[in-house]
Amino acid sequence: MTPRRVYEDKLKKLNKNIMEMGHHAEEFIEMTIQAIINNDNDLARSIIEKDDIVDDMQLEIEKECALLIAHQQPVAGDLRFVISVIKIITDLERIADQCCDICKYSIRLNDGTWSQEVNYKRHIEKMARGAKSMLQEVLNAFISKDIEAMKKTYKEDDKIDSIFTKIWQEITDEMIANKDFIQNGVHYIMIIKYLERIADHITNISEWIIYSSTGEYAIHKPIE
Angle between helices 182-214 and 153-177 (to 10 degrees): 170
Could you tell me the residue ranges of all domains in the chain?
A: 3-214
In this prediction, residues 169-197 reach a mean pLDDT of: 96
Q: What CA–CA distances, in Å, run from 143 to 12, 22, 210?
A: 12, 12, 12
Closest to 163 measured CA to CA, from 138, 133, 137: 133
Rounded CA separation 167/118 (Å): 11
* pLDDT higher than 90, residue 58: yes
* pLDDT higher than 70, residue 150: yes
Phi first, then psi: what are they for 152, rounded to 5°?
A: -65, -20
pLDDT reported for residue 214? 85
> Which CATH code fits 3-214?
1.20.58.220
Asked if residues 203 and 220 have their Cβ atoms less than 8 Å apart, the reply is yes
Tens of pLDDT along 83-117? 999 999 999 999 999 999 999 999 999 777 788 88
In this structure, what DSSP letter does residue 113 have?
Answer: S
Does 95 or 140 have the greater pLDDT score?
A: 95
Closest to 196 measured CA to CA, from 106, 114, 98: 98
Asked if residues 101 and 187 have their Cβ atoms less than 8 Å apart, the reply is no
* pLDDT higher than 80, residue 223: no
pLDDT reported for residue 36? 94
